[in-house]
């Protein structure tokens, strides 16, 4: 080892030491359990244990593709996620900019809190809130419709309403968190740029397009990459609790997580549930690598890794 390298190493030792707790944590918590991934390929049996159970190849994965639901669950999971990643980013930026323009500090705090609040509510509670709106007998919306002399709508019996309902519920719940992250980056943008732009006579819209968005790009890329990393997972509560497990809504609300839940509820097969997670993780890994690769090609400085 050259002298310079040695010196370098010495210089970085405190940093490595500081990273050590995290490394240990991740090793214990995230890497050691990976030994258990083999369960996905085994006919797991309590008596024989993880190592002793019989190896059966891809047998455990088959049920994921066994019914005609396979296409629906893949389409729903990926479709909703892709659409929501885009919508969440666009709406998040919009709200962050609005919030940033609010002059009164007090009002800003109040708005922020209100927008973030739904993010902290459990999905089960959200499902009852949605039910209060959509109930066929006593729902708020049907109440208004009836008062206007219109017939009730059976929300829980037609799948075609649900892409919209789910999107509204999802955005209502999650938009606050994204907006706060964007707002945090917005606050960090130096006022000088905007002052200079104003001097040159730029309109608000031009300022947003030419200053705000480019400055936000790293945050956007980060959030989208994280979103891509979860593209093959769905929020179980949103898809199971909010539609209240109604079979008629299947075409719009069945995702891989709800499918697996329904399929394995009775048998509790550990091998098959591991297989589902393994499959999800593998697809997510591929998408995240693909997305990062594409980013690297088009704008290297913005790629995550």
Q: Which residues bind another protein (CB under 8 A)?
A: 14, 17-18, 20-21, 24-25, 28, 45-49, 59, 62-63, 66-69, 131, 135-137, 156-157, 244-248, 250, 254, 259, 262-270, 272
Q: How far is the CB of 204 from another protein (least distance, A)?
A: 46
- Tokens at 229, concatenated: 């990393």
Pick between residue 92 and residue 243 the one whose CB is nearest to another protein.
243
Contact of 186 with 214, CB cutoff 8 Å: no
For the bound state, the minimum distance from the C-beta of residue 269 to another protein, rounded and expressed in Å, comes to: 6
Closest contact distance (angstroms) between CB of 259 and another protein is: 5
| Residue 189 neighbours by CB distance under 10 Å | 15
Residues 274 and 225: their CA atoms lie apart, in Å, by 25
How many angstroms separate the CA atoms of 254 and 69, rounded? Answer: 8
Q: Taking the complex as a whole, how short is the minimal distance between the CB of residue 159 and another protein, in angstroms?
A: 12
Nearer to another protein, 30 or 104 (CB): 30
The nearest distance, CB 280 to another protein, in angstroms, is 16
- Nearest CA to 186 out of 107, 118, 96, 109 is that of 96
Q: Is 87 left (phi over 0), alpha (psi -120 to 50) or beta?
A: alpha
Cβ nearer to another protein, comparing 227 with 271? 271
Q: Identify which of residues 77 and 250 has a Cβ nearer to another protein in the complex.
A: 250
Residue 132 CB, nearest approach to another protein (Å): 11
**If we measure between CA atoms, which residue out of 37, 25, 55 comes closest to residue 281?**
37
Residues whose CB falls within 8 Å of the CB of residue 229, separated by 6 or more in sequence, listed in order: 284, 287, 288
The H or E element spanning position 95 is helix 69-101
**Are the C-beta atoms of 115 and 178 separated by less than 8 Å?**
no
84 or 259: CB nearest another protein: 259
d(CA 141, CA 148): 11
Q: Which is nearer to another protein, 49 or 201 (CB)?
A: 49
Nearest residue (CB) to another protein, 94 versus 264? 264
Q: Which residues pair with 55 in a beta bridge?
A: 42
Other residues' Cβ atoms within 10 Å of the Cβ of residue 283: 17
CB of 48 to another protein, least distance (A): 7
């Amino acid at each position: 080892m050259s002298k310079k390298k040695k010196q370098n190493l010495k210089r970085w030792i405190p940093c490595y030491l500081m990273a050590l707790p995290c490394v240990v944590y991740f090793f214990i918590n995230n890497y050691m359990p990976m030994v258990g991934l083999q369960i996905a390929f085994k006919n797991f049996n309590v008596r024989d244990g993880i190592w002793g159970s019989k190896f059966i190849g891809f047998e455990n994965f088959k049920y994921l593709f066994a019914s005609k639901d396979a296409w629906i669950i893949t389409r729903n999971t990926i479709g909703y996620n892709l659409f929501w990643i885009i919508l969440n980013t666009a709406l998040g930026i919009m709200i962050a900019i609005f919030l940033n323009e609010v002059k009164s500090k007090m009002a800003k705090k109040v708005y922020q809190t209100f927008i973030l609040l739904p993010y902290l509510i459990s999905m089960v509670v959200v499902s009852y809130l949605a039910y209060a709106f959509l109930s066929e007998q006593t729902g708020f919306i049907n109440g208004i419709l009836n008062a206007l002399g219109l017939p009730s709508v059976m929300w829980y019996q037609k799948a075609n309403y649900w892409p919209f309902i789910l999107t509204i519920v999802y955005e209502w719940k999650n938009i606050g968190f994204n907006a706060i992250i964007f707002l945090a980056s917005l606050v960090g943008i130096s006022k000088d740029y905007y002052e200079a732009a104003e001097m040159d006579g730029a309109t608000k819209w031009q300022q947003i397009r030419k200053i705000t968005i480019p400055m936000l790009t790293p945050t956007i890329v980060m959030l989208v990459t994280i979103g891509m990393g979860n593209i093959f997972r769905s929020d179980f509560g949103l898809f199971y609790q909010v539609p209240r497990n109604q079979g008629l809504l299947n075409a719009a609300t069945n995702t891989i997580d709800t499918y697996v839940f329904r399929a394995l509820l009775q048998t509790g097969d550990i091998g098959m549930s591991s297989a589902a997670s393994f499959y999800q993780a593998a697809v997510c890994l591929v998408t995240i690598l693909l997305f990062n690769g594409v980013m690297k090609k088009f704008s290297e400085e913005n790629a995550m890794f």
